[in-house]
Amino acid sequence: MEHALAQAFAMVFDPYTLAVMVVASLYGLFVGAVPGLSATMAVALLVPVTFFMPPIPAIAAMVTATAMAIFSGDIPGCLLRIPGTPASAAYTDEAFALTRKGQAEVALGAGLVFSAVGGLFGTLVLIVASPALAEFALNFSSFEYFWLVLLGLTCAVFITSDRPLKGLVMLLLGLLVACVGLNNPAGFPRFTFGSTEMTGGIGMMPMMIGMFAISQVIRHAVDTSPAAELVVEKVGGVLAGQWALAKRYPVQILRGSALGTVVGALPGAGADIAAWMSYAMSKKFSKEPEKFGTGHVEGIVESGSANNSALAGAWIPALVFGIPGDSITAIVIGVLYMKNLNPGPTLFTTNPQNIYAVFMLFVIANIIMIPLGILCIKVSKRILLVPRDVLMPMILIFCIVGTFAINNSVFDIGVMLVAGVVAWLLEDNDFPIAPAILGVVLGGMLEENFITSMIKADGNLMAFITRPIAAGLAVLTLLIWGVPLLRALLRSRSRGAVVG
Amino acid sequence: MKLNDAVFGVLLMLLGAAVLAVVQGFPKIPGQQVGPALFPGLIAAGLVVGGWLLAVRGWRDRALAPWVQMGPWVRMPRHVLAWLAMVGGVVFYMLAAPALGFLICAALVLLVCMWALGVRPVAAVALAVVAALVIHLMFYKLLRVPLPWGVLQPFAW
């Protein structure tokens, strides 16, 4: 173990890795602070660049960029009333109300400090929970994996959306896309339409760059909302008074971080949902709920820590099972596969130094967030004035080149464009994107474990639930499906009773 | 652009039915009851059911949700132009890049998109050329991505 730790230390504190982290931080802060560019998009745009890096610097770039972007998304929320990333949307009005009261530095400071605290909390849980889970998961057979993946996909359908039906069809579409190509238990080319490009399947990375970057670029083109005005001229020292806030709201910080970590770890739900849930929870349990919405910092403290802790939480299922906790880790998993660091419990036993390195990267990213974040707040006015009409076309070209770079294939650019337009159209119609992403990422794994289990079971479906853990996971999965169905049934019955 | 749920429902049902039809022709794994048709077949069945439920819901709410409702941007030429420039730009790049080369295509796409988004023409030309050169330097020189030179091949550097 000491040897692995020393190796991890050497990899992380390599000058190249550190330089990558600094550049990725600045990049993440910038992307997060520009409205319309999300943290997921930051990672999607990083993919083609990380493609040319060794594994640890590549992971370092993604970890730091996302941590920074989730924090800096608070900046335009606070100063322009436009969230920089969806993860800041929950408390944008609150932060802006504080700004209106002349307390922009309190809102930004709370966002920064408690983002770092939440991030470190999530990291701690990641460090403690994932090796233990991995050891537990070493005994899993295809039956357990089948139910685990199904449970993950179920969570994605029911948690990420208040419209489970739309979530479900998105999941099915994602799974169907994952079926394309030769990569199935029989090695039979499915849905390839005779095209050689499609025998290898539809590229996951081009698809994600399309869904998360191209869709945003298109959304900017059709955005008719008027330009927002900057109300603050100068932001003062942001760290003043934060210690007092920490002493005043210890329970809120802990609750936000814990909830964020759990929501992050649930497949499909990430930082944005964590922030919404945590803000609602803060208001519900607050001693002064009437102050919420009028420029009260309590909710920002709690949900600000929640959205950053969710980032680390999402890595738990991603590293241990290869099941992404949010859309960011869905991309990360793709990169890990490209780097031959296939996620799964064996990653913890065969290459522990890589896992330790990931832990260290998270700690460092959340610590350097504070000085770099202060710097970012200082220059925030300039960032917010960056003309997006110039930026978006550049991102478009960057997406084209980046997608091409992955396989040197023009076909992939087409995949990217189609995915982008489809994602834009579907999201406009309230179809959630996260279940589709999970379907694409997990489709192969689900089918493989399903078919293997079917062959093992040899026609006896009871085999799916004879092993105790498999049975437990099965019950949990069926319960999540069963409860909403039952509720709908009861509702239609009571409605029928009223009519009759 | 908003469409009534029923439109999506019918499209999903058609997709599901098409997949179900295609998987009938898939071979079986010798000696096994399961094969490459099973998993996509189940998904397709799910799509048919989900599409049916969506269609029913959309039909029920048809008074509230119109069949097609375009966003406010459709009536504003600037935004329609911007949409066409972005989407058309990618298509143009795919078709023209092998012949014209990256630099010319990228600069053209950048220029048209910026112009459509309302950037002043002089600034747009300068920014388009500089951005194309910088991205080319980054990907072609530093990351060694074989971006096409096209007609500029004789001047390749």
ipTM: 0.94
Residue of A149, A140, A147, A155 lying closest to A175 (CA atoms): A149
CA geometry: angle A303, A304, A306, nearest 5 deg: 60
Q: Which residue stretches of A379-433 are H helix? A: 380-384, 388-407, 410-428
Decide: residue A24, CB within 10 A, 0-12 exposed, 13-18 middle, 19+ buried.
buried
Q: B66 touching A, CB under 8 A?
A: no
Counting the structural domains of chain A, the total is 1
CB contact under 8 A, A410 and B86: no
Q: Which residue in the block uniquely carries the two structure tokens 């000058």?
A: A15
Does residue B99 share a domain with residue B44?
no
Q: Which of B36, B102, B128 sits opposite A190 (nearest CB)?
A: B36
Residue of A85, A80, A78, A74 lying closest to A111 (CA atoms): A74
User: What is d(CA B89, CA A86) in angstroms, rounded to the nearest whole number?
Assistant: 27
From the centroid of its chain, how far is CA A258?
Answer: 16
Q: B77 touching A, CB under 8 A?
A: no
From the centroid of its chain, how far is CA B47?
Answer: 22
Q: Which of A45, A399, A404, A456 to mutate to test the interface with B (most CBs of B within 10 A)?
A: A404
Kindly report the average pLDDT of chain A as a whole number: 90
Q: How many helices (H) and strands (E) does chain B have?
A: 5, 2
- The whole-number pLDDT of residue A496 equals 53
In angstroms, the first-to-last Cα distance of chain B is 45
Structure tokens at A212: 């998360």
pTM for the whole thing?
0.90
Q: B10 touching A, CB under 8 A?
A: no
Mean pLDDT of A155-183: 88
Q: Which of B69, B87, B119 is the last residue of a domain?
A: B69
CB contact under 8 A, B117 and A224: no
Contacts of B109 in chain A (CB under 8 A): 393, 396-397, 400
CB contact under 8 A, B19 and A191: yes
Q: B52 touching A, CB under 8 A?
A: no
Instruction: Spell out a b/e string for A433-447, using b for 16 or more CB atoms within 10 Å of the CB, else e.
Output: bbbbbbbbbbbbbbb
Does residue B124 share a domain with residue B50?
no
Does residue B42 share a domain with residue B116?
no
Contacts of B35 in chain A (CB under 8 A): 186, 188
Does residue B98 share a domain with residue B55?
no
Does residue B97 share a domain with residue B29?
no
Does residue B50 share a domain with residue B12?
yes
CB contact under 8 A, B114 and A390: yes
Q: How far is CA A252 from CA A14, A163, A260, A358, in A?
A: 37, 30, 12, 27
Contacts of A450 in chain B (CB under 8 A): 39
- A485 lies in some domain: no
- The whole-number pLDDT of residue B143 equals 86
- A208 lies in some domain: yes
Q: Which of B69, B91, B111 is the last residue of a domain?
A: B69
At A140, the amino acid letter reads: F
Does residue B58 share a domain with residue B43?
yes
- A478 lies in some domain: no
Give the E-state strand segments of A211-288 in sequence order.
none
CB contact under 8 A, B50 and A165: yes
Does residue B55 share a domain with residue B19?
yes
On the question of pLDDT at A232 being above 70, the answer is: no
| Chain B closest-CA separation from residue A429 CA (Å) | 6
Q: Which of A151-165, A435-449, A458-472 has the least mean pLDDT?
A: A151-165
Does residue B94 share a domain with residue B39?
no
Q: Which of B69, B86, B121 is the last residue of a domain?
A: B69
- The whole-number pLDDT of residue A488 equals 75
Does residue B47 share a domain with residue B25?
yes
pLDDT confidence band for A498 (50 / 70 / 90):
very low
What is residue B97's three-state secondary structure?
A: helix
Q: B59 touching A, CB under 8 A?
A: no
Contacts of B23 in chain A (CB under 8 A): 190
Contacts of B32 in chain A (CB under 8 A): 455
Counting the structural domains of chain B, the total is 2
Contacts of A414 in chain B (CB under 8 A): 94
Radius of gyration of chain A (CA): 23
Q: Which residues have C-beta within 8 Å of that of residue B22, sequence separation ≥ 6?
A: A191
pLDDT confidence band for A161 (50 / 70 / 90):
low
- The whole-number pLDDT of residue B10 equals 96
Q: B89 touching A, CB under 8 A?
A: yes
Domain hosting residue A68, numbered range? 2-222+239-466
CB contact under 8 A, A169 and B43: no
pLDDT confidence band for A495 (50 / 70 / 90):
low
Mean pLDDT of A457-478: 90
Query: Mind listing the pLDDT tens digit of every residue in chain B (157 residues)?
Result: 889 999 999 999 999 999 999 999 888 777 777 889 999 999 999 999 999 999 999 999 888 888 888 888 888 888 999 999 999 999 999 999 999 999 999 999 999 999 999 999 999 999 999 999 999 998 998 888 999 999 998 888 7
User: What is d(CA B122, CA B134) in angstroms, rounded to the nearest whole number?
Assistant: 19
- The whole-number pLDDT of residue A233 equals 65
DSSP assignment letter at A429: T
Q: Which of A48, A165, A186 sits opposite B53 (nearest CB)?
A: A165
Contacts of B12 in chain A (CB under 8 A): 169
Q: Which residue of B has its CA nearest to A454?
A: B34
Domain hosting residue B39, numbered range? 2-69
CB contact under 8 A, B57 and A186: no
Q: Report yes or no: A175 and A289 within 8 Å, Cβ to Cβ.
A: no
- For the CA atoms of A425, A426, A428, A430, the dihedral, rounded to the nearest 10 degrees, stands at 170
Does residue B80 share a domain with residue B60?
no
CA geometry: angle A280, A90, A378, nearest 5 deg: 135
- The whole-number pLDDT of residue A499 equals 43
> CB contacts < 8 Å between A and B, how many?
166
CB contact under 8 A, B54 and A49: no
